[in-house]
Amino acid sequence: MSTVSPSADLTRQTAANLATAIASREVSAVEVTRAHLDRIEAVDADVHAFLHVSGEQALAAAAAVDESLQRGEAPASPLAGVPLALKDIVVQQGVPTTAGSKILEGWLPPYDATVTQRLVAAGIVILGKTNLDEFAMGSSTENSAYGPTRNPWDLTRIPGGSGGGSAAALAAFEAPLAIGTDTGGSIRQPASVTGTVGAKPTYGGVSRYGVIALASSLDQVGPCARTVLDTAMLHEVIAGHDPRDSTSIPQPAPNVVDAVRRGQSDGVAGMRIGIVKQLGGDGYQAGVSESFAQAVATLTAAGAEIVEVDCPHFEYGLAAYYLILPSECSSNLARFDAMRYGLRVEQRPDGTLIESAEQVMAATRGQGFGAEVKRRIMLGTYALSAGYYDAYYGSAQKVRTLIRQDFERAYEQADVLISPSSPVTAFAIGEKVDDPMAMYLNDLATIPGSLAGIPAMSVPSGIASDTGLPVGLQIMGPALGELPMYRVAAAFEAAYLAEHGTLVPDLAPALEGAK
């Protein structure tokens, strides 16, 4: 394993390498943290990946790791001392958490999410909270009430969404690790368009306790990084059963780091990899399709058997998703009512006092929520209403079952399935804001996996020849099939490195001047 020389740019290192160097005290966690805080200072005005930077807390946490190592204690985890960017939808005690919404401006959570607790216990240094589409609704991070995040590959372009802040922080070398949440693709699509890695574990694989809910039956926390190994290492820190989350899988975290090592050493020889007929073709950018074909060729060359699988119900996935998600979010977001925390609007625009509790609630929600949030609350309220439940929500749940069955049949023929992660590379900021349907189509490839609750991840698969921007390869495992998924991801990454001599994420060009 390579180590880090003191002169090297600490922000260009993998988390695995940084952790090794910190554990062997070649470099201190404080130095690593300071380097990343400096990088944030230098580039984040352009990128706007962060909504809040916890500089002092991060340095204190790093110092604690260094002191513990100085005392001769074993590192708290294989990632002890490594900095991380936390999506601002995961609560951290005493640190502002907004979920990208004005309605939570200034709120200081009085408690830690389980994920936060696990990160802290692992000695991971939390640098701050990253930007996102308001309440994780969006595919471009343009819906953040605090302004958009920009793609480090091209600052005029979106970094994907909703986890654009986390993905951009990785691509801009502001952090080597990040936490995302994925409801319909919010980890995978940003990873795809920023040339980074992001994994959505099996539904229930990581506790949602303390993660502000968008759609409870779809939300999943997951690890993000610039390499598959780093992603797997972070995965092991945050995954595993949590008694405070009833939907959490009552099993220990899967040993995905071992699966990565296996992929690096053994490749994909003998594995069957399925290409989903419905996830490609029309609606997919030429450069994306071309990159995907190359990825298939790479995997074939690495010894995989490629099969085509038919998932006929995927075409209804987007429609089902956009009934289930708004339904659940209309209910989940009802708690933001000005009574206990966050914004409270007590006056009308003309300065007169609002008299009743119901009107305070309405005024606060009217002012505190953005357009996309309101759109989805309205849709969900409608879809759940008495006369329409069966026609909309009920039917969507049936489609969900059919999609799950499509996957089950597909996994009879293949160990994992692959597709492009996103139908297009990063588009321009402002290009799709006025066209919600066009925006929703960005999650076409990721939504079926979300509806089925299976694990899925995006790994960089090169640069699109038509736009010069990163393309992501989506790898989907069967339920609880994180091991084959990570194995294929690691094997693909290794093959790509062997072919090209460098990994995609090392290339993000827009901020070179800022170094």
Partner 1 sequence: MIDFDEALELFDPVMGLEVHVELGTATKMFCGCPNAFGSAPNTQVCPVCLALPGAMPTVNAQAVEFATLIGLALNCEIAQLCRFSRKNYFYPDMPKNFQTSQYDEPIASNGHLDVDLGDGEIFRVEIERAHMEEDTGKSTHVGGLTGRIHGAEYSLLDYNRAGVPLVEIVTKPIVGTGKSAPVVARAYVAALRDLLLTLGVSDVRMDQGSLRCDVNLSLMRKDAGEFGTRTETKNVNSLRSVERAARHEISRQAGILEAGGTIVLETRHFDETTGTTSSGRPKETAEDYRYFPEPDLVPVVPDREWVEKLRAGLPELPWLRRARLQRDWGFTDLEMRDLVAADGVVLVEKTVAAGATPAEARSWWNAYLGQRANERGVTLTELPITPEQVAAVSALVRDGALNAKLARQVIDGVLAGEGEPQDVIAARGLAVVSDDAALQTAVDEALAAQPAIAEKIRSGKLQAVGAVVGAVMKATRGQADAGRVRELVLTTLGVEG
Query: Which residues are at the interface with partner 1 (CB under 8 A)?
Result: 90-91, 97, 99, 104, 107, 109-111, 113, 208-213, 215-217, 243-247, 327-328, 330-331, 334-337, 339-341, 357-358, 361, 381, 384-386, 389, 393
What is the C-alpha separation between 409 and 170, in angstroms, rounded?
36
Q: Which of 162, 327, 330, 419 is catalytic?
A: 162
Q: In the complex, what is the shortest distance from the CB of residue 100 to partner 1, in angstroms, rounded to a whole number? A: 12
Q: In the complex, what is the shortest distance from the CB of residue 434 to partner 1, in angstroms, rounded to a whole number? A: 29
Report the residue number, 11 or 183, with the smaller CB distance to partner 1: 183
Handedness of CA 235, 236, 240, 242 (dihedral sign): negative
10 Å Cβ neighbour count for 350? 5
Nearest alpha carbon to residue 299 among 415, 453, 380, 218: 415
Q: In the complex, what is the shortest distance from the CB of residue 105 to partner 1, in angstroms, rounded to a whole number? A: 13
Non-local (6+) Cβ contacts of 320 within 8 A are 395, 396, 397, 399, 400, 403, 451
What is the C-alpha separation between 275 and 190, in angstroms, rounded?
22
Report the residue number, 193 or 396, with the smaller CB distance to partner 1: 396
DSSP state of 416: E
Asked about 207 being catalytic, the answer comes back as no
Q: Which tokens hold the place of 85?
A: 């960017």
Q: Is 66 left (phi over 0), alpha (psi -120 to 50) or beta?
A: alpha
Report the residue number, 376 or 432, with the smaller CB distance to partner 1: 376
Report the residue number, 20 or 97, with the smaller CB distance to partner 1: 97
Q: In the complex, what is the shortest distance from the CB of residue 39 to partner 1, in angstroms, rounded to a whole number? A: 29
Q: Which of 77, 144, 186, 419 is catalytic?
A: 186
Contact 416, 484 (CB under 8 A): yes
What is the C-alpha separation between 496 and 462, in angstroms, rounded?
8
Contact 98, 104 (CB under 8 A): yes
Report the residue number, 65 or 113, with the smaller CB distance to partner 1: 113
Asked about 356 being catalytic, the answer comes back as no
Q: In the complex, what is the shortest distance from the CB of residue 324 to partner 1, in angstroms, rounded to a whole number? A: 9
Report the residue number, 301 or 357, with the smaller CB distance to partner 1: 357
Cα end-to-end distance, the chain, whole Å: 26
Asked about 140 being catalytic, the answer comes back as no
Report the residue number, 187 or 218, with the smaller CB distance to partner 1: 218
Report the residue number, 110 or 349, with the smaller CB distance to partner 1: 110
Distances (CA, A) of 421 to 104, 239, 292, 445, 460: 31, 23, 10, 6, 9
Contact 167, 191 (CB under 8 A): yes
Q: Which of 87, 129, 200, 432 is catalytic?
A: 87
Q: In the complex, what is the shortest distance from the CB of residue 146 to partner 1, in angstroms, rounded to a whole number? A: 17
What is the C-alpha separation between 61 and 79, in angstroms, rounded?
13
Q: In the complex, what is the shortest distance from the CB of residue 175 to partner 1, in angstroms, rounded to a whole number? A: 22
**Helix 317-332 and helix 395-413, axial crossing angle in degrees, nearest 10:** 130
Name beta bridge partners: 52: 129
Contact 486, 459 (CB under 8 A): no
Q: In the complex, what is the shortest distance from the CB of residue 117 to partner 1, in angstroms, rounded to a whole number? A: 12
Distances (CA, A) of 254 to 111, 270, 484: 27, 22, 11
Report the residue number, 194 or 327, with the smaller CB distance to partner 1: 327
Question: What string of H, E and C letters represents the secondary structure of 171-235?
Answer: HCCCCCEEEEEECCCCCHHHHHHHCCEEEECCCCCECCCCECCCCCCCCEEEEEECCHHHHHHHH
Q: In the complex, what is the shortest distance from the CB of residue 219 to partner 1, in angstroms, rounded to a whole number? A: 9
Q: Is 141 left (phi over 0), alpha (psi -120 to 50) or beta?
A: left
Catalytic residues: 87, 162, 186
